[in-house]
Amino acid sequence: MRSGGLIALEGIDGSGTTTHSKILYERISGMGVKAFLTHEPTDGPVGRIIRDILSGKLKVGHDVLALLFAADRLLHVHEIYDVMRNCFVITDRYLFSSIAYQGLFLPESWVRSINSRAPLPDLTILLDVDVDTAMSRIKNRGKREIFEEREKLERIRERFLRLKDEFNMFVVDSGRPVEVVADEIWDIFRRWAGI
């Protein structure tokens, strides 16, 4: 039985990473097991700069944005590294978001190399959803960010799916109702953790 580790939920915008990270966190904690919920971009100083770029308030090149994501991630890792030894740390997005998103605009090998000091997650769940469903969810949220365009999301979705075998990701069809998806994630977690 495991008592800790890093669990990453990944997927395109509108795939439900925030919703399902929260539900998984609540279910684990509800069993009296130690869990910690976190996200990227973080709420730290670099994460705040990233948010301004995503909203279009600040303009920088894709290379600078990729470096900021990588720096934000390393600061994040320093924060959670000790915690994940005896606690399930659930992160809403992590390393594979950089490979999928920033790798669309930059050489993927470079994106991988600037992120090479970030440890691989112990469990990755890829929430896969078709872009029509994702776009309609994004529209209902109101605020828009720079990656939220159909054609970009199509290509980012393909990039995530391409990574699934190399990194042993569990792919969950996230186009279904929230409770159905949450139950499947819960089953994956329990089997993996041996709980």
- Which of 63, 145, 149, 183 binds ligand TYD (CB under 6 A)? It is 145
Of the listed pieces 10-18, 81-89, 177-185, 187-195, which binds ligand TYD according to CB under 6 A? 10-18
13 binding ligand TYD? (CB under 6 A): yes
**Secondary structure (DSSP) of the chain:** ----EEEEEEESTTS-HHHHHHHHHHHHHHTT--EEEEESS-SSHHHHHHHHHHTTSS---HHHHHHHHHHHHHHHHHHHTTGGGSSEEEEES-HHHHHHHGGGTS-HHHHHHHTTTSPPPSEEEEEE--HHHHHHHHHHH----TT--HHHHHHHHHHHHHHTTTTTPEEEETTS-HHHHHHHHHHHHHHHHT-
CA nearest to 11, candidates 183, 169, 179: 169
Q: Which is nearer to ligand TYD, 8 or 193 (CB)?
A: 8
- Which of 69, 88, 160, 189 binds ligand TYD (CB under 6 A)? It is 69
Q: Restricting to residues 89-108, name those near ligand TYD by CB under 6 A.
A: 92-93, 97-98, 101-102
Of the listed pieces 13-21, 125-133, 163-171, 177-185, which binds ligand TYD according to CB under 6 A? 13-21
41 binding ligand TYD? (CB under 6 A): yes
- To ligand TYD, the closest distance from the beta carbon of 1 in angstroms equals 30
Binding residues for ligand TYD, rule CB under 6 A, total 15
Q: What residue ranges bind ligand TYD (CB under 6 A)?
A: 13, 17-18, 40-41, 54, 69, 92-93, 97-98, 101-102, 145, 147
